[in-house]
Amino acid sequence: MTKAEQNSVSSNLTSIYSAGGFFGALFMFFSLELLGRKATLIISDVIFIIGAILCTTPTHQLGLIYAGRLFTGLGVGGIAAVCPIYISEIAPPAIRGRLTGFFESSYQIGAVIGFWINYGIVHNIPKDSSTAWRIPMGVQLIPAGLLALGLPFLRESPTWLLKRGRDEEAYKSLSYLRNLPIDHHYIAEDVGFVKGQIMHERAMTTGDRPTFAAFIKGASKEALMKGMRNRFAVVFFMFMWQGWSGAAAINYYSPTIFASIGLTDITLWTGVYGLIKALGSIIFFTFFVDTFGRQMPWIFSSLACAACQYYLAGYIAVANPSSPANLAHPSASTVAGGKAATAAIMIFGATWSFGANGLPWIISSEIFPSSLRSISGPWAGMSVWLWTFVVTKALPSMYTSMGYGVYVFFATMLVLASVYAWFFIYETKGLRIDQMDELFGFVRPGTDYPAKAFGEDDEARYIDEKQRAEARLEVV
């Protein structure tokens, strides 16, 4: 296979996977609404396992590998559509950001583990051996298998159960998830609030005919209303800013930066970069997201990442570290600048991981009412896969035509993202869904929304829930 053919195959594998993710998120809308969150996870996991098997078994059948990548993309797209909204629905508002953030942290941990597996393969298995690609493909079966083993113990979302009129199951599920007796007043308050919310939503969506067709008609009408359509726009643009944040450009050029300062094992340092991203995500979402909230961390992250990329642009423009002369015998100034550039890359990874990379998943999962979550989850998933595809396709041409200007472009996009966050990304830490309606200016016809603001009773419960949740996490 020629170099051009190899590049074509690599591009096709990436594009097929992204397309699978997009349509996986889209198709899971029906399952989310009709079958529930747990069933959607089961379906998505089964599809992913089929794809991983197809990728692993063929010897010289490229078509089967393409099919496998499509199926794994479909599975991942479905999982990404359901997980954040499921976590958001079962989490107490006091620690909702932390628990939803664990979804992103888990992704980063998986990426790090996958990298080090590949690192071991590169250094120990010949490139021409089929084992060199079968192991990475087969490793996908491990997390998918663990998910399959855990799914029987997963509790269905109480919100979805209440929507289906299965109140007794909802009480039991919420009691288990909150680790409280079924007759505890917090359980009664939560169930009463969610049921009241569902009644208000149904008055507009399905009315007296709770059929799927009526739901589609009512939800479409609700989604286009003032105070709701802006939420869909916010989700779309958040993932646009994520895509154009320059992370792909950093991944592309970081090996050259590492080489310019004399590092010989470039692959090793690429792995260190991935590890720092994972640590940044874990530390922020474990300790800070429910303290500092969403908006200001996004702004801080965007500006910090922009500063890093502006420096990288200046370093590349002045030192030209990719030139043959510098790669062979870098000057002292090139090495010094390269060390600072390496530090900038690591700072970018640590701050990007919780900002534009992680916060969109949290915000998109918590700002929509239950009547629209079967739509908002897939919408978020489709948005991220769309922008991933666009940026992946655009980046090679951008490098060819813009050079170091690519980093100026991405840095400027990050500055614009911080401005967007200041005006359009509202602080949602600890808020209930009725308070989200008030925040986004949505008034449900036929009701007295917006609801009362966050009061003393809400604050007391918020503090109590946070303390109990943290105590339980310490025990675990």
- Identify the pLDDT of residue 462: 53
- Identify the pLDDT of residue 311: 94
Residue type, 162: L
- Chain Cα centroid distance, residue 58: 31
- Identify the pLDDT of residue 61: 80
Q: How far apart are CA 127 and CA 133, in angstroms?
A: 9
pTM of the model: 0.86
- Token look-up 């030192």 returns 319
Nearest-CA neighbor of 246 among 314, 334, 307? 307
Nearest-CA neighbor of 305 among 280, 325, 282? 280
- Identify the pLDDT of residue 118: 84
3-state SS class at 428: coil
CATH architecture of the region 7-154+225-424: Up-down Bundle (1.20)
3-state SS class at 220: helix
Nearest-CA neighbor of 91 among 451, 365, 448? 365
Q: Is the peptide bond before 450 cis (omega within 30 degrees of 0)?
A: yes
| Cβ(76)–Cβ(49) below 8 Å | no
Mark 352-389 as b/e (b = at least 16 C-beta within 10 Å): bbbbbbbbbbbbbbbbbbbbbbbbbbbbbbbbbbbbbb
Classify residue 132 as exposed, middle or buried by CB count within 10 Å of its CB (0-12, 13-18, 19+).
Answer: middle
Residue type, 99: L
| Cβ(296)–Cβ(318) below 8 Å | no
34-72 tens-digit pLDDT: 999 999 999 999 999 999 999 888 767 888 889 999 999
Write down the domain spans for the chain: 7-154+225-424, 156-204
Assigned token pair, 150: 């855990």
- Token look-up 């007043």 returns 185
Q: How far apart are CA 73 and CA 51, in angstroms?
A: 8
Q: How far apart are CA 442 and CA 445, in angstroms?
A: 9
Q: What are phi and psi of 81, to 5 degrees?
A: -75, -35
- Identify the pLDDT of residue 476: 41
- Identify the pLDDT of residue 449: 47
Q: Cα torsion for 114, 115, 121, 124, to the nearest 10°? A: -140
Count of CA atoms in the C-beta half-sphere (13 A) of 130:
7
- Identify the pLDDT of residue 431: 86
- Chain Cα centroid distance, residue 162: 27
Residues of the chain with pLDDT under 50: 449-454, 456, 473-476
Which stretches of 370-465 are assigned E, i.e. beta strand? none
First to last CA, the chain: 52
